[in-house]
């Protein structure tokens, strides 16, 4: 913790001035010009207070004398348990540039544009829960310097002939990639992290504890080797794009082996640990959580906006009334054409249901979140509701309708009966689709249950 040399009160990093500011006498200090009284000299560790959420197991640290009364990861309102610990100093940091007020404004603008958003999302007390958290990242530098042979193909037409040329090209490929970053915290969702990227390297500062004064930080708990291959692949892919652009007259150039393959032989040194600024907001409702995160440097935002079921039902009702009259007035469709129309709607609904189902599975099992899986392993299978009303019932209805359309019975009554069954089934399916939408717009509560082991990753 930093204290004011003038009055002894606590200092915190002030985003607007980029300096350490005293709340009490308004003195300012350049970061790095003042020593942290409690700091251990000449070590690569910082004394910090770790807050542990009793509900989800998420952890954040601070160097201040603060208490944390809610958890940013699961939205629980509980006084988090704390203990002192030493955490390893990162190499770089990007200080916050966007203030809490900037975030509030950005977020409000987004929420107001969504008419189905629950009104709680606009409450000042809720927006006050925006919390500045430094998220740890692994930063990789990849270096490519290699003579490589590429095979190329070229096709051209001369008169009636199509001439295909295949040849080998040898060239020296050189590429330096710095600042390829991946989030090093299992608590911070990889998807959110990608959505608010990038954090440009020219904003990096050498780490100083002063920058995190007044903010929270998450702790790196993902092994640095995890993303090495991805960083190398990224460098190889970009190099190949560059190589291909050099041979514009050639139709195609084969990609050599990616990653640590022998052709381009990318070399990747040990990554550096960096802290990047994120404003974090969580909304907890019915056992699910929705996040709003803002890049603390650029203001790029990613939000899950749940919809209020009451608002949605009201809107649907308002929409259904004119539709109902429209259909009744203009009942010009022949029975078979009417049945075909319902079949198309049901078909689209079924496809949507299946796509949503697969997306929900991806979200719940976190199978795309490499950092999470590396620390906690693959979560078990999740159960999905709505299988009968969302899939089986409308499928049966659809089969009956298709059978009627194929066998073309003489009496219209068959068409009307089949259409009625299909409409009822589709109505049930729509309820499931709204439920799916709400699940996809929010997230399951995080469960960082497994022991994190040592905090100094
Ligand atoms: Zn002061
Ligand atoms: Zn929590």
CA of 324 to the centre of ligand 1 (A): 69
**Is the per-residue pLDDT at 323 higher than 80?**
no
User: In the block, which residue shows the tokens 């439920």?
Assistant: 435
CA of 56 to the centre of ligand 2 (A): 4
Residues 446-455 as b/e (b if ≥16 CB within 10 A, e otherwise) read: bebeeebeeb
Instruction: Please tell me the distance from the alpha carbon of residue 206 to that of residue 204, in angstroms, as a whole number.
Output: 7
User: DSSP class of residue 251?
Assistant: S
Highest mean pLDDT range out of 213-227, 260-274, 310-324? 213-227
Asked if pLDDT for residue 18 goes beyond 60, the answer is: yes
Helix-helix angle 412-441:393-407, to 10 degrees: 150
Query: What is the structure's pLDDT at 264?
Result: 77
pLDDT band for position 318 (cuts 50, 70, 90): confident
Paired sense of beta strands 301-303 and 288-295, if any: antiparallel
The reported pLDDT for the residue numbered 328 is 58
Residue 239 has pLDDT above 90, yes or no: no
Q: How far apart are the two ends of the chain, measured CA to CA in Å?
A: 22
**What mean pLDDT is reported for the chain?**
83
The pLDDT of residue 283 is above 60: yes
pLDDT at 324 over 80: no
Ligand nearest to the CA of 60: 2
Alpha carbon of 187 to ligand 2 centroid (Å): 10
* 131 has pLDDT over 60: yes
pLDDT of the residue at 39:
59
Rounded to the nearest angstrom, the distance between the alpha carbon of 447 and the centre of ligand 2 is 8
User: How far is it, in rounded angstroms, from Cα 237 to Cα 142?
Assistant: 12
Q: What is the pLDDT of residues 379-404, one digit of tens each?
A: 655 555 778 888 899 999 999 999 99
Q: How far is the CA of 255 from the centre of ligand 2 (A)?
A: 45
334 burial class (0-12, 13-18, 19+ CB within 10 angstroms)? exposed
- How many Cβ atoms from other residues are within 10 Å of residue 50's Cβ? 18
Q: Which pLDDT score, from 0 to 100, does residue 276 have?
A: 96
| CA torsion through residues 26, 28, 34, 40, sign | positive
pTM confidence score = 0.77
Mean pLDDT value of segment 295-318: 81
- Cα(317) to centroid of ligand 1, in Å? 59
Among candidate residues 337, 332, 344, the one with its CA nearest the CA of residue 422? 344
Mean pLDDT along residues 139-164:
82
What separation in Å is there between the alpha carbon of 379 and the centre of ligand 2? 18
Alpha helices by DSSP H, listed for 330-385, are 335-365, 370-376
Q: 74 C-alpha vs ligand 2 centroid, how far in Å?
A: 4
Q: Ligand 2 centroid vs 72 CA: distance in angstroms?
A: 7
What's the burial of 205, exposed, middle or buried (CB within 10 Å: 0-12/13-18/19+)? middle
**Residue ranges of the alpha helices (H) in 61-198?**
100-112, 124-127, 190-196
Question: Is the Cβ–Cβ distance between 288 and 75 less than 8 Å?
Answer: no
Ligand with smallest separation from the Cα of 10? 1
User: pLDDT (tens digit, 9 = 90+) per residue, 46-83?
Assistant: 889 999 998 888 899 998 887 888 999 998 888 888 88
Is residue 234 pLDDT above 80, yes or no?
yes
- Is 50 exceeded by the pLDDT of residue 287? yes
pLDDT at 121 over 90: no
How remote is the CA of residue 10 from the centroid of ligand 1, in Å?
A: 7
């Amino acid at each position: 913790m930093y204290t004011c040399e003038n009055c002894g009160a606590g200092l915190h990093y002030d985003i607007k001035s980029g300096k350490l500011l005293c709340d009490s006498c308004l003195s300012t200090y350049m970061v790095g010009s003042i020593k942290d009284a409690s700091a251990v000299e000449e070590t690569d560790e910082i004394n910090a207070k770790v807050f542990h959420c009793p509900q989800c197991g998420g952890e954040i640290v601070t160097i201040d004398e603060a208490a944390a009364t809610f958890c940013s990861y699961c939205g629980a309102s509980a006084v988090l348990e704390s203990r002192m610990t030493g955490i390893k100093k990162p190499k770089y940091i990007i200080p916050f540039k966007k203030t809490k007020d900037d975030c509030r404004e950005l977020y409000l603008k987004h929420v107001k544009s969504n008419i189905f958003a629950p009104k709680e999302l606009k409450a000042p007390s809720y927006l006050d829960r925006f919390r500045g958290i430094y998220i740890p990242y692994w930063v990789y530098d990849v270096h490519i310097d290699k003579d490589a042979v590429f095979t190329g193909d070229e096709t051209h037409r001369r008169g009636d002939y199509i001439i295909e040329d295949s040849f080998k090209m040898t060239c020296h490929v050189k590429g330096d990639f710095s600042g390829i970053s991946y989030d090093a915290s299992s608590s911070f969702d990889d998807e959110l992290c990608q959505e608010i990227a990038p954090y440009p390297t020219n904003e990096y500062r050498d780490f100083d504890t002063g920058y995190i004064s007044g903010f929270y930080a998450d702790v790196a708990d993902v092994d640095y080797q995890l993303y090495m291959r991805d960083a190398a692949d990224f460098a190889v892919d970009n190099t190949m794009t560059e190589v291909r652009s050099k041979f514009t007259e050639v139709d195609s150039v084969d990609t050599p082996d990616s990653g640590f393959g022998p052709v381009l032989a990318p070399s990747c040194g040990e990554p550096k640990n960096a802290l990047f600024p994120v404003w974090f907001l969580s909304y907890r409702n019915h056992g699910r959580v929705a996040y709003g995160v803002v890049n603390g440097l650029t203001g790029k935002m990613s939000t899950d906006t749940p919809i209020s079921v009451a608002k949605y039902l009201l809107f649907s009702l308002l929409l259904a009334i004119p539709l109902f009259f429209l259909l009744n007035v203009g009942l010009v469709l022949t029975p078979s054409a009417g049945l075909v129309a319902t079949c198309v709607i049901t078909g689209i609904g079924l496809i949507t249901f299946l796509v949503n189902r697969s997306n929900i599975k991806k979200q719940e099992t976190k199978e795309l979140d490499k950092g999470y899986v590396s620390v906690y392993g693959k979560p078990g299978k999740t159960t999905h509701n709505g299988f009968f009303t969302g899939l089986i019932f409308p499928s049966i209805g659809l089969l009956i309708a298709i059978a009627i359309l194929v066998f073309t019975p003489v009496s219209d009554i068959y068409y009307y009966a089949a259409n009625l069954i299909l409409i009822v089934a589709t109505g049930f399916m729509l309820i499931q689709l709204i439920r799916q939408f709400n699940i996809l717009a929010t997230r399951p509560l995080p469960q960082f249950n497994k022991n994190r082991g040592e905090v100094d990753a």
